Amino acid sequence: MPEYGIGVVLLANVTYAPTTSINLKVLDSVIKLAGLKPIQLPVSTILNQRKNELVKLLPNFNSAKKSGIFAENFFDDYFTDSLVKQANAAFQTIGKVTTIEELIPENQLRGSFIINGEKGKLKIFFTLTPENPALIQEYRLSVVK
């Protein structure tokens, strides 16, 4: 389990002794008994930069195509009119923005963050391309309870 920095190996004859369920039970026990917590990755500079640039475009995506922060094919997959409609509806649901929380990275090119409003919260998830400089290639917005 890379997120905990541990692993176990059980050597057996695969035909007669499947090991997956035993390994998972051992890992679960070790994690519980040792009180292990998943490793928290630091936020990469580019991931945090793209978060800040994305926030500036929300909810209207003004000049998004000219911003230079989106992958070449982003607007082939995400239509600007739909992005604006979805974002405006979501921002109306949560009301005036009060705070924007820190980014929670899944890895160095993918993460999410919460935008808190007076009446609710939005979760923004995005993924960057594996190029230099990394650009936004995936984006999802959802109202959370």
d(C-alpha 86, C-alpha 131), whole Å: 28
pTM over 0.75: yes
Ramachandran quadrant class, 68 (left: phi over 0; alpha: psi -120 to 50; beta: rest): left
DSSP state for residue 16 in the 8-state scheme: T
- Give the Å distances, CA to CA, from 2 to 5, 11, 107, 108, 126: 5, 20, 12, 15, 22
* Model pLDDT, residue 77: 93
Q: Are residues 90 and 32 in the same domain?
A: no
State pLDDT tens for residues 5-60.
899 988 887 677 778 888 999 999 999 999 999 888 899 999 999 999 999 999 99
Q: Which domain holds residue 19?
A: 1-39
Q: Are residues 67 and 12 in the same domain?
A: no
Q: Are residues 50 and 113 in the same domain?
A: yes
Q: Are residues 28 and 97 in the same domain?
A: no
Q: Side chain identity at 16, as an amino acid letter?
A: Y
Q: Are residues 33 and 62 in the same domain?
A: no
Q: Are residues 14 and 51 in the same domain?
A: no
Ramachandran quadrant class, 117 (left: phi over 0; alpha: psi -120 to 50; beta: rest): beta
Q: Are residues 58 and 29 in the same domain?
A: no
Do 61 and 127 meet the contact criterion of CB atoms below 8 Å apart? no
Tally of domains in the chain:
2
Do 35 and 93 meet the contact criterion of CB atoms below 8 Å apart? no
State pLDDT tens for residues 115-140.
999 999 999 999 999 999 999 999 99
Q: Are residues 26 and 86 in the same domain?
A: no
Task: pLDDT band for 73, please (50, 70, 90 cuts).
Answer: very high
Q: Which segments of the chain does DSSP mark as H helices, in order?
A: 20-34, 45-57, 74-77, 80-94
d(C-alpha 1, C-alpha 89), whole Å: 39
Q: Are residues 72 and 124 in the same domain?
A: yes
d(C-alpha 143, C-alpha 145), whole Å: 7
Q: Are residues 66 and 24 in the same domain?
A: no
